[in-house]
Amino acid sequence: MATLPPPYDPTVKESFSYTTVVKRWPVIITNLIDCVYNANHDLTVTSTTSVTEDLVKKKIEEGKAIIETASKLNPIPDDGGPHVELYNTELEKLSANGKGTWFTAPWLYAECYLYRLIRTWFSLTEHWTQFDPFFILKEDTFKGSGAAVYQLALTMAEIDAEAEKGSLEKDLARLEVLFDEMIQMCFWGNATDLSLLTTLSTGDIEKLQTVGKEAQAASRKFILRDDIDAAWQHLKSLSNARLDFVLDN
């Protein structure tokens, strides 16, 4: 069995992991603080009773300070939710090997740990158990994605119209073009992962989401391994076969 490659190391300053610890996570936490503060303000203005949960805001602020000072990771409190024991068992192993801090823990573990810890901060409160601190960001970004959503809807409508006319079924050349375009639309959708784009404006995201043919042609040179043609050739060889699409979101 081949040896697994080592996990991403945040101590390597040229790595994505280092950038994550120094820049991404503090920005994400800062946005959380702003979100809770704004929600608190709105609720106290519209409600006759105080529902402010200062504890949540305090914990988030402490979390930001902990990350920025490379402090050790602490066991996640048991909130009755899933995987707490799994995270804490792994953390115990990492700590025993001197890798129990934000700057020494494997990046992927620390990234997942962070979001599970955030979930715990809210689930252990009285009023915020179902609160989604990322909802505003997701909603605003979705609204800002209107141009790309419209273009995709237009493309699907055109394909549907062609299919109804029966002009697509036997036109393999046209189907190949559509297959290529749709695969790239799905592929480049990952370019707008919100957790990675902490410093981008709505205009930057809209540019990343451009789905036109010219934009796809310009972006294709950045694909490290392109098996679209091979996938199409394999699909053509199938006859009366079942084809499953696995959607990751």
pLDDT 10s per residue in the chain (249 long)? 578 888 888 888 888 888 888 888 888 888 888 888 787 766 665 655 544 556 666 666 665 555 555 578 999 999 999 999 999 999 999 999 999 998 899 999 999 999 999 999 888 887 788 889 889 888 888 887 888 888 888 888 988 888 888 878 788 888 898 888 888 888 877 666 666 666 666 666 666 666 667 777 778 888 889 999 999 999 989 888 888 888 765
Token duo for residue 43: 């609720």
Beta-bridge partner residues of 101: 72
Angle, CA of 61, 113 and 132, to the nearest 5°? 60
Helix axes 228-237, 172-189, angle to 10 degrees: 130
Q: What is the pLDDT of residues 186-208, one digit of tens each?
A: 887 766 666 666 666 666 666 66
Q: What is the pLDDT of residues 51-69, one digit of tens each?
A: 455 666 666 666 555 555 5
Domain with CATH 1.20.930.60 in the chain: 16-132
Phi and psi at 17, nearest 5°, equal -60, -45
Q: How far apart are CA 36 and CA 44, in angstroms?
A: 12
- Which residue is it, tokens 């409508």? 157
Q: How far apart are CA 164 and CA 173, in angstroms?
A: 18
**Which alpha helices (H) appear in the chain, and where do they start and end?**
16-19, 25-46, 54-68, 84-96, 107-123, 135-144, 146-165, 172-189, 202-208, 213-219, 228-237
* Helix (H/G/I), strand (E/B), else coil: 117: helix
Token duo for residue 37: 């503060």
Token duo for residue 55: 């504890």
Angle, CA of 211, 237 and 222, to the nearest 5°? 30
Q: How far apart are CA 91 and CA 112, in angstroms?
A: 12
For domain 16-132, say whether CATH 1.20.930.60 is its number: yes
Q: Under 8 Å CB-to-CB from 125, ≥6 apart: which residues?
A: 53, 55, 56
